[in-house]
C-alpha cells in the first residue's frame, strides 16, 4: 500500500512542479505581450494560487500515509519545500516584472 501512496505523491508532485514551471514563465510572457501590444487592450495571465495551495494540501495529506525517512515524503518536508517553491515562484514574478516595468517607463 505504501507504493500506491508514493505513486500518488509522485504524480501530484509532478503536476505541482509543472505548475511552478508555468509560474516561472509568466513574467516573461507578460513582457512579451506588453512588447507586442503596446497600444492594444491590456490582457493578462492568471497564475492561480489556489491550484498550487490545493496541490500542496494534497501532497501533505498523502505524505501522512507514507512511512518514509526521506524528507520530501514527510508532511513537514512537503510543506517546507512546497511552500518555499511557491514563495520563490511568486517572488521571481514580482522581481522580474518590477525590474522590467520600472525601466520600461
At residue 14, the pLDDT reads 96
Residue 38, classed as helix, strand or coil, is coil
Looking at residue 96, its pLDDT comes to 93
Please name which of 35, 20, 36 lies closest in space to residue 93, comparing C-alpha atoms: 20
- Among 85, 84, 65, which Cα is nearest to 75's? 65
Nearest to 71 by CA among 100, 63, 30, 19: 63
| Cα–Cα distance measured from residue 53 to residue 61, given in angstroms and rounded to the nearest whole number | 12
Residue-by-residue pLDDT tens, the chain, 105 positions: 878 999 999 999 999 999 999 999 999 988 888 887 766 566 666 778 899 999 999 999 999 999 788 888 899 999 999 999 999 999 999 999 889 888 876
Q: Which residue has the cell 487592450?
A: 41
Closest CA to 23 of 81, 89, 84: 89
Q: Which residue in 15, 11, 93, 84 sits closest to 47, CA to CA?
A: 93
Amino acid at each position: 500500500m505504501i507504493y500506491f501512496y508514493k505513486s500518488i505523491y509522485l504524480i501530484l508532485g509532478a503536476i505541482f512542479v509543472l505548475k511552478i514551471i508555468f509560474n516561472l514563465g509568466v513574467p516573461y510572457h507578460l513582457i512579451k505581450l506588453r512588447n507586442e501590444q503596446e497600444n492594444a487592450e491590456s490582457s493578462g495571465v492568471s497564475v492561480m494560487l489556489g491550484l498550487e495551495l490545493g496541490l500542496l494540501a494534497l501532497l501533505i495529506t498523502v505524505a501522512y500515509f507514507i512511512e518514509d525517512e526521506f524528507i520530501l515524503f514527510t508532511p513537514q518536508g512537503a510543506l517546507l519545500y512546497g511552500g518555499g517553491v511557491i514563495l520563490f515562484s511568486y517572488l521571481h514574478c514580482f522581481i522580474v516584472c518590477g525590474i522590467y516595468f520600472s525601466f520600461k517607463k
